[in-house]
Amino acid sequence: MMRTRPLKVALLGCGVVGSEVTRIMTTHADDLAARIGAPVELAGIAVRRPDKVREGVPAHLVTTDATALVKRGDIDVVIEVIGGIEPARTLITTAFEHGASVVSANKALVAADGAALHAAAEANDADLYYEAAVAGAIPLVRPLRESLAGDKVNRVLGIVNGTTNFILDKMDSTGAGYSEALDEATALGYAEADPTADVEGFDAAAKAAILAGIAFHTRVTIDDVHREGLTEVTAADIASAKRMGCTVKLLAICERAADGASVTARVHPAMIPLTHPLASVREAYNAVFVEAEAAGQLMFYGPGAGGAPTASAVLGDLVAVCRNKLAGATGPGESAYTRLPVSPMGAVVTRYHISLDVADKPGVLAQVATIFAEHGVSIDTVRQSGKDGEASLVIVTHRAADAALSSTVGALRELDTVRGVASIMRVEGE
């Protein structure tokens, strides 16, 4: 039998995502009630600009006093889609203290302060759900946190930012440079007026921290994630990748060490073979490849951002949290029992693609090969071309530690015959 008294929901933020959450809660109210076992009622919407026209948003629910809204005491669930660290953190902890559970899409906050938020939720017998914080509509947090809870995840490799994937896809498919591809992404609304969070990898790094923490049952914050953006990726890098049968993607990579004693989390551009499933992810789509001991290889794919896709994830969490409320229970909280250390980037082992500008004369290749050998980095393939006294060396290594590669490149720069290091890119997914 369905409970007649509604569960009351407070919404913090009513931008692109918040407006979609409001629309879906209104138009699908009966379906949501049937799935939950009780009606849900939107009891208040906190915004910064109350005079802004918001189509379909009941004006009588709008308030600028978010603190008073979350302190009401009759609120069962708070949905937070305002983003940023403050005031979101204070509002969420206040909501817990006044008996509400929280559904959030705030990747920056969860990646920076997830442990404290989970502790606050647990102390107040409340839920903290954040499926929408990682990959829009793609079900990823819950499968890692629940469906794979009985398995051992060893690696998470993914494209988790649609803006950067769109830019790299256009560079690959049209031959455009970075600036031209960014301009197109901006014109189509995929990139913000200030795209720094996306193109410099901050957005993906926050998501990598969340995924690593859940996958490996350990605490990983955004400060633990090595981050490189794609602003230095050139059309020449894309062309080199094509000659290797690869494409370039900005990847979030979370790995458990082979001995199981540590983990790594990193975000950077990388070449991946065209045969890898992630290579076919086009436009602004996201995809995450999970490798687990028993389940094997799993891939999650779909739209990773946007109002409706993100709202879909928010509403999925809302249904789960409301069901928990009715049952007098809470869902899974933080699982950090392994307490594994996060290794620095220097310990990461992978392959590398290095482009060098060198003098076109006898003995240069031998000099370069000697430097690689002295630093313990094995060369897989070399391609050399040149004319008029200048040449280009493209070297692909076998797997080597990042620290060893860095010392190799430092030594190469000291050679008189090496004019410059044109680019260095990791090769992943093999």
Among residues 353, 339, 348, the alpha carbon closest in space to that of 404 is found at 348
Among residues 25, 30, 24, the alpha carbon closest in space to that of 43 is found at 25
152 has catalytic annotation: no
Active-site residue (options: 8, 107, 170, 207):
207
C-alpha to C-alpha distances, 138 to 84, 311, 331, 334, nearest whole angstrom: 22, 11, 20, 21
Among residues 160, 122, 125, 124, the alpha carbon closest in space to that of 141 is found at 160
> How many residues in total does the chain contain?
430
CA distance 351 to 428: 7
Evaluate whether 313 touches 137 at the Cβ level (below 8 Å). yes
How many angstroms from the chain centroid is the CA of residue 195?
15
CA distance 408 to 403: 9
CA distance 179 to 191: 12
Q: Which amino acid is at 316?
A: G
User: What b-and-e string marks burial along 204-217, b requiring 16 or more CB atoms within 10 Å of the CB?
Assistant: bbbbbbbbbbbbbb
Does residue 87 have a cis peptide bond before it, meaning omega lies within 30 degrees of 0?
A: yes
End-to-end CA distance of the chain: 53
Partners of 421 in the beta sheet?
A: 356
Catalytic center residues: 207
